[in-house]
Amino acid sequence: MATFMRERRADGRVRETQSTSPGRAPRRRGRFTDRHFATLLTLPALLTVAAVTLVPILIGIGYSFTNYNTTTPSQVRFVGFDNYRNLFADPDLPRVLMTTFLFVVLMIGAETVLGLGLALLLERPMRGLAAYRVLYTMPLLTAGVVVAISWRYLLNGNFGWFNYLLGLLGIPGIDWLGSSSTALIGVVLSDMWVGVPLMAILLLAGLIGLDPELPEAAATDGASPWQIFRRVTLPGLAPVLTIAVIFRTVDAFRKFELIQLETTGGPGISTKILNLYIYQQGFGYGRLGYASAMSIFLVVLMVLALSVVFLVGRRLR
């Protein structure tokens, strides 16, 4: 509320001033309305995300404490932590976890190194650069099922193109997907068809966004190309590199159709990662309660892996 004060000056004149009541800030129009209007605009998206992610997660947590089985759905009962105790007593779990760890490390390591090298090449000025950049995005347009089936034939031990090329070099053919010693490598090679171009595109965007004057200044000061990359390029690229590795790490843990269509987790369990093992337990044997407990365990592993990625990314800056 505004108040008026009278003040008599030295020359006898009276000056009238306006002031606001203490403790009451002037009202700002628009802020309250704009904030709630923005909330209303995002509310449908938030509800959709909650419906397709939060609700299934809560249901899965609830199922993990039951003996729910699709063969006897009417006999569901609460079993507490029995599923989690059975999980750590599973004789196949150590081998499955080791396979999952090797698959994630090999996939992320190979795709990051090759994707970064490809991004550095595509950043250099050359004739037909735009065409090369478009060419390397073509694998991203291929459906995952098509990639899996195509590479299953390419890696076939009898008539695959890989063994044909090895035969031209005088090297005996390899049963890529039929041997427990090479099946995991074959799956990683198949995934690199899409993973390397994706990493290259993300890292190329980060390289283009770097200040070009910094490498030039380092070169002027006598720094070698490796020193420029290690001290200038890599720290500047670290935020984008971290996000790219996070995307591929999450994708590695939830990889399913590639392994299912190429090896079905075999030979034996040599390519059976945890995500595929959960599917087989839940939908193959109907043990949805046990599979839900394994899913919660998988989420914990993913959180730990992503935490390591964040820490390494911070060290690179």
What percentage of the chain reaches a pLDDT higher than 70?
Answer: 89
| Residue 188 identity (one-letter amino acid) | V
Whether residue 33 is contained in a domain is answered as no
Whether residue 31 is contained in a domain is answered as no
Cβ–Cβ under 8 Å, residues 258 and 251:
no
Whether residue 140 is contained in a domain is answered as yes
Whether residue 134 is contained in a domain is answered as yes
Segment 231-272, tens digit of pLDDT: 888 888 999 999 999 999 999 999 998 999 999 998 888 999
pLDDT of residue 281: 92
Domain holding 128: CATH number?
1.10.3720.10
Whether residue 41 is contained in a domain is answered as no
Domain count, the chain: 1
Q: For residue 258, what are the domain limits?
A: 92-316
Helix ranges (DSSP H) in the chain: 31-49, 55-63, 82-88, 93-123, 129-135, 144-154, 161-168, 183-208, 213-220, 225-228, 234-253, 257-262, 274-279, 288-316
Segment 89-113, tens digit of pLDDT: 999 999 999 999 999 999 999 999 9
Whether residue 57 is contained in a domain is answered as no
Whether residue 203 is contained in a domain is answered as yes
Whether residue 310 is contained in a domain is answered as yes
| Structure tokens belonging to residue 63 | 């199922």
